Amino acid sequence: MERTRLFALTTLVLLLSGGAFVFEPAAANQNVTRASLSRDFRNAMSVVRANYVEELDYQALTKAGIQGMLKVLDPHSDYFDRKAFAEMNSEQRSHYFGIGAQIAPRNRGTYILETFEGTPALRAGLKYGDHIIAVDGQDTSTWSSDRVRNVLRGERGTTVKVTVQRPGAQAPITVPIQRDSVALPSITNFYLVRPDVGYINLSRGFHSTTSNELNSIMADLTEKGARSFILDLRGNRGGYLDQAIRVADRFLQRGQVIVSVRGREGKNFDRDIVAETGATENIPVVVLINRESASASEIVAGAIQDHDRGLIVGESSFGKGLVQNIFPLSDGSGLTLTIARYYTPSGRLIQRDYSSGSLFEYYARRRPNGDPNAGASPRTEEKQTDLGRTVFGGGGIEPDVKIENADLFTGVQSRLYSVVYMFTRELVNATAAGLEKYKVDRINFRPGDKPAQYWIDDQVIAAFRQFAVKFLADNPDFGVTPAQIDSETVWLRKTIRQEVLWAAYGFEFMQRMTNDLDLQLQKAIQELPNSAKLAERSWRPAASSRR
């Protein structure tokens, strides 16, 4: 029964992708029928089943086959099994069901980076540095962090037993945790970065609650004195189109085009989407983007740039301008299929080239910040903004003010980072002699006006060096020498402090306390007066739609 269902599902996907939604099949393929598609797939599976050296997981094999087939069409059409599809829908509703902890791979294991406020994991006493060694009694030493995450998530009200190893504890700690709804707002951080400048970090994607979150937060920051805003879209990989439209509407004038959608001829997907409400006042704004800003975030940045509503600061964006429709399937799984392309108001194509067909080329060997000597250049089409500024399309959004991310690690720093984490988990658990002042018993989300700064002095650096030399001797594959450790003292002071602050106050508050190190954010603050002048020139008493 399961195999039959998978065969039928694959046949359905083949039919959908073979021309119903994405492209017209060639004339020579017009005689391909539902029966022949199903027959070919069944025959292939029969050969594999009869001859492959190991027993097969048919569901995993079929899932991989469907995903591989869809990737032939484009990099962003995809298939999600029942669990993955449910998780995607849940997260885009700004919540999920689980224990409420951020986990990540560190030193060949899965460790807790943070427990979120008001969540089961926090109530259970889990904290930064805990090494997850078992879940429900199953040893996780060979599991990937994704597998651990998937097992920790589950139906609301169900219980999962988590076993962790903690520095200073005599034995592993096992705690039963009842899964619950965990809030996942799209805006992760907001505050006054200057007395009159509001900072809004919209990094998680455009969820169903994004526009409501933004309106509430802008009102709150305005009441506290904000007269201009920095909208941080770095790392925002997209989400719901309607939410991106509502966010752009908050800054543009009524009637201005936000984005144009162009689909296959005859499918009636073409439309120009305009700001229906529009901004009632000309509030200065700078938008931050980086190479991970994609899709919906590029729509917002492109609209603001094309209408000269504000400046874009940072790095060239990802370049994802394909429109996916979601198609739920009867078994609870789902497809996302490309049905159209996005264009900015000036007519720039957001999507970058993927004609090589190589996902590795598409994701790993990307053009770094518009360097014409490093792969496909975004300067494939030249357009004009409302005020006549030249902008380029065909490869994401090029910022008006380019500035590299200074937080990117060098090779040595990347190898040392795991060592920093392993040392910091010892430090915050007070296992390092003479450094008890760095102990963190429990994360504090409300540290008040004078939080402990946790400056890293020479004693900490000396303790780290001693720890690192022993750690690297036990793990020679890290390939770091004592001399290289000594050459990274400045970076180590900064990074260890950030990790301690993360353990003490959570990631968002740590960001606030160290934003002076964020060169892209500091540049955005500097550019606000220029952005305000640009917006003042573009502001019209009554905006007209650009079509």
**CA–CA dist 265, 244 (Å, integer):** 25
Q: Which of 306, 308, 400, 518 is catalytic?
A: 306
Cα–Cα nearest to 10, from 55, 76, 70? 70
Residue from 77, 203, 211, 295 carrying the catalytic annotation: 295
Q: Which residue has the tokens 């908050």?
A: 250
Nearest to 16 by CA among 8, 345, 453, 217: 8
Residue 320 appears among annotated catalytic residues: yes
DSSP string, 430-493: T-STT-GGG--SS--S---SS-------HHHHHHHHHHHHHHHHH-GGG---HHHHHHTHHHHH
- Which residue is catalytic, options 74, 320, 333, 346? 320
**Is residue 286 within 8 Å of 311, Cβ to Cβ?**
yes
Instruction: DSSP letter for 394, please.
Output: S
CA distances to 158, 259, 302 from 350, in Å: 43, 10, 8
CA distances from 21 to 338, 349, 458 (A): 7, 20, 62
CA 87/CA 116 separation, integer angstroms: 18
Q: Which helix (H) or strand (E) holds 401?
A: strand 401-402
How far is residue 77's CA from residue 366's CA, in Å, rounded to a whole number?
19
Residues 6 or more apart whose Cβ sits within 8 Å of residue 410: none
249 is catalytic: no
Q: Which active-site residues does the annotation give?
A: 295, 306, 320
